[in-house]
Amino acid sequence: MSSKDGGQPFEGNTTEGSQREKIPVLIFDQPGQLSIQVAKRIASLITERRATGKKVVLGLPTGSTPIGVYQHLIDLHNEEGLDFSNVVTFNLDEYFPMKPDSLQSYHRFMHENFFDHVNIPKENIHIPNGDIPRENIEEYCLSYEHKIRKAGGLDLLVLGIGRSGHIGFNEPGSGIKTRTRLIILDEITKKDAASDFFGDENVPKEAITIGVGTILDAHEIILMATGEHKAPIVMKAVEEEPTDEITASFLQKHRDVTIYCDEAASGEFTRIKTPWVVKQVEWTEDLSVRAVIWLAEKVSKAILRLEEGDFQRHHLHSLTYTHENTDHLCKHVFESLRRRIRYAEDLPTKQEVIVFSPHPDDDVISMGGMLDSLVENKNDVTIAYMTNGSVAVFDSDVRRYIRFMEMAGGLFIDNDSVGSLHTKLTKLSKAMSTKPLGNVDALEVQQIKAFIRYSEAVAGIEVMRLGQEHARFLDMPFYKTGKVRKMPINDVDVQIVLSMLEEKMPEHIFVAGDLSDPHGTHRMCYFAIKRALIEFKKKYPDESKHPMVWLYRGAWQEWEIDRADVFLPMSKADLDRKIEAIFKHESQKDRAMYPGAYDIREFWERARDRNQGTASRLNGLGLPEFHAAEAYVCVKEL
């Protein structure tokens, strides 16, 4: 029952420490577990209604988050006979203008990912129409609302959440009583969508969306959130007061709504980030270190200058009881952090190392300092570029190289071949100029873009005194869609990584451990490596053959001080050399195609600021002062 129908909004969680959460929250270890549970809830409701001869009306979202739910529902249909013939669906939104068969159309998305694989009657499927005449929009939106009411309202509505806090396309400023309408898209939303449209200049400025009032009329609501990049906005929607600046916060006024988060998206909740603020905690070593760092930064003191009163005033007196006295506690934490500082001479020497780089620039952006030190220590380093990064290259870069090939061709091939080359390049240029905006590149163009990224990758590692022989381009199949949205990781992807591990038998591997990459490639590469390592350890049970795994983070954020196992200090010269290597990625310089919604800095600026920021934080805690520092987490298992 919705609050409109007389229900009461949620009044408090019962999970210990969750008193600041104004909406019930379920946290899952992995996104896959979350998807399974949402799919089971939908299947259960369908089955319950079928048993009583009733239809079930579902509100459905698009985007990467619900794809796993749709896949599990398809599996239930194919393998367990789940019958969808009693299901009526209403999608939340659609871009405007947008033809139903366009590559980015939500009509196409829903049919490809769900509707074409289950037996929902066609007449029961409703998706906002993005290609109606503008003068008919108001009448159309009223009609869409009428169809929802005529169907009996939404029994279960599944939502995602945008990084602006929107639900549906209800952007900041949308009121609680809004209904289906045409809306202008927020700049953050457009930048997040840029990857699907091959540049934010191609993203439609408007969309049709059901309103906040329509959402709150649903009888039951599930909001799904996955990934670290969603954590800050989910916390605000759940813990802070409702506001039209974060439309998801209006869900606090609904009596039957649940937030489903994976572990990464839950990281900013008070009970997760600073649990001692809201409950009694068992002081583990990791939690003690985190709390002391938090306190030191909160009161702007070095760790060894903290006093007993600082702990008392911030409700950390129970922590002081775990040690002989406050000074002993602070010294213990300080020494724990100090031992994590590793200079080049403390790093692996003359060993086999594989650096797995999801994109062709993640190696130098994320761990240029480490790469430099590994080479200095005479390790046998192989950089395994997992994807070709072609979708992030502008067409203008391809045209520049086409012109170069036209000009330089005569220097390397005979006159007869020059004419043939010119014909091919002219044909290629024409195909590019006639390609509709937002469409997938021709295969030849995709290949040229891949070669651009490959050549830049080699130029980058040459700054680190490595050569082309140290680069391995895995070109994993999951990435090769020509679009930013990728295929699921499959056995072929895993086998490529496994073969690399078996060929090199590395003692150390470096893996992108960040789950906040907004385009998902880092996450997918991470899970491909994880699966490959499982197979590797089955084939080689001798633990001495199992590599140490070093997790680095990419352009989006750095490891928290308390979570990092290793800090690598960098001098100004070290950082300058890292930046020089990043500069070699010219297609990503000045203006990257997909820089992310919130951050206008170039990747080299993010790397510089992140590394200097880590060093500054360490210095603020009373540790040695460095110009910059990289951070790593070391594990035996992913």
Catalytic residue selected from 21, 145, 171, 220 = 171
The alpha carbon of 207 is separated from its chain's Cα centroid by a whole number of angstroms, namely 23
Residues 6+ positions from 203 with CB-CB distance below 8 Å: 95, 185, 190, 193, 194, 197
For 61-73, the pLDDT digits (tens) are 998 889 999 999 9
Give me the pLDDT at residue 470, please: 98
Give me the pLDDT at residue 597, please: 47
Stated pTM of the model: 0.84
Residues 6+ positions from 101 with CB-CB distance below 8 Å: 107, 108
Give me the pLDDT at residue 83, please: 97
Q: What are phi and psi of 549, to 5 degrees?
A: -105, 120
Give me the pLDDT at residue 3, please: 35
Give helix 491-504 / helix 521-539 axis angle, nearest 10°: 60
Give me the pLDDT at residue 486, please: 64
Give me the pLDDT at residue 595, please: 52
**Distance in angstroms (rounded) separating the CA atoms of residues 521 and 533:** 18
Residues 6+ positions from 450 with CB-CB distance below 8 Å: 388, 389, 390, 475
**Measuring CA to CA, how many Å separate 613 from each of 171, 232, 524, 565, 631?**
32, 20, 28, 17, 11
Coil, strand or helix: which one is 580?
helix
**Distance in angstroms (rounded) separating the CA atoms of residues 205 and 185:** 6
**Measuring CA to CA, how many Å separate 561 from each of 7, 76, 332, 517?**
45, 43, 15, 20
CA proximity to 209, closest of 244, 165, 170: 170
Terminal alpha carbon distance of the chain: 42
Which residue ranges of the chain lie beneath pLDDT 70?
Answer: 1-14, 195, 437-438, 481-486, 515-519, 591-599
**Distance in angstroms (rounded) separating the CA atoms of residues 234 and 271:** 13
Give me the pLDDT at residue 420, please: 84
CA proximity to 113, closest of 171, 68, 155, 178: 68
Clarify whether 469 is annotated catalytic.
no
Contact between 326 and 307 under an 8 Å Cβ cutoff? The reply is: yes
**Pairing between β-strand 25-28 and β-strand 257-262 as defined by DSSP bridges:** parallel
Give me the pLDDT at residue 78, please: 97
